[in-house]
Amino acid sequence: MEFLINLLQYPFMQRALICGIAISFCAALIGVILVLKRYSMIGHGLGEVAFASLSLALVLNLPQMYVAIPIVIIASFIILIISQKQGESGDITIALVSAGALAFGVIITGLTSGFNIDVYNYMFGSILTMSTTDVIISVVLSILLVVAYVFFYNRLFMITYDEKYAKVCGINVTFYQFLIALFTALVVVIGMRMMGTLLISSLIVFPAIIARKITHSFKGMAVMSVIISILCFLFGLVISSLLNLPTGASIVMVYIGVLLFSSIWAKVVKA
């Protein structure tokens, strides 16, 4: 903790900490819904779509975020529509979209300037390069997601566990599914600056999976997932700073350690 406090003397670390906590918070909340609905790999798929959009932005010399956000949002909607209309499972749809997007991104990058420092930063994450704009966007996204969770909690709960029953109750399931897809896309695009496009899915999946081993209620999972996500981010940030390791990879290793511990703990408690 003392080491973390000393790091906060630097403005870039202050921005990294605020962005990291905000993104971890958002990813944990949206991850609970995605994991329970068996869309846990959507973060990975959209991460590769984000990589393709970033490659396109670099080729066209356009602002990366302005290009990535609409493309990733559209991709999340496409995944949702195909899964619903064609009857394909979520994982198959995500695999098809992500593979195509990754191939497109690699081809575009290979035909132009190659893998420069900007591409690497987005692929593997560079939390220390977070700007003031990233801080504002992350905080605003967190506020919007909390408001949506509070106001639509009962509807989100019903849609997550039983869509057919939700439709019978008169809930506009399609609207809330697209709302979930929108928030997921925004979390992926903003979070890829911290975790990288290759690891952003871990920020969505791990907290929810760990929380599910500890508690079985929807509300309990949401609260526990947020706590786990923020704590793992802080530990990962400290470890990466102490050992001079990539932040995204350090956070993932902390997640794996907590997951193993929670799995053992769950078996001991049941025994």
| Interval 57-91: pLDDT, tens | 877 777 777 788 888 888 888 877 776 665 555 56
Tell me what pLDDT residue 255 has: 92
Tell me what pLDDT residue 232 has: 92
Tell me what pLDDT residue 225 has: 92
Tell me what pLDDT residue 118 has: 60
Any domain includes 253: yes
Could you give the percent of the chain with pLDDT greater than 70? 86
Any domain includes 271: no
Residue 36, domain extent: 2-266
Q: What is the DSSP string of 188-234?
A: HHHHHHHH-TTTHHHHHHHHHHHHHHH--SHHHHHHHHHHHHHHHHH
Mean pLDDT computed over every residue of the chain? 80
Query: Which uninterrupted H or E stretch holds 137?
Result: helix 132-151
Question: How far does CA 129 lie from the centroid of its chain?
Answer: 18
Any domain includes 209: yes
Closest CA to 186 of 241, 138, 221: 138
* Contacts (Cβ under 8 Å, ≥6 apart) of 211: 32, 220, 221, 222, 224, 225, 228
CATH of the domain at 26: 1.10.3470.10
Closest CA to 39 of 100, 86, 80, 96: 80
Q: Total structural domains in the chain? A: 1
Contact between residue 28 and residue 225 where contact means Cβ atoms under 8 Å apart:
yes
Tell me what pLDDT residue 213 has: 87
Tell me what pLDDT residue 56 has: 81
Any domain includes 163: yes
pLDDT along the chain (271 residues), means of 10: 70 82 88 83 79 80 79 82 61 74 78 60 68 79 85 85 81 84 84 75 88 86 91 88 82 91 79 58
Any domain includes 254: yes
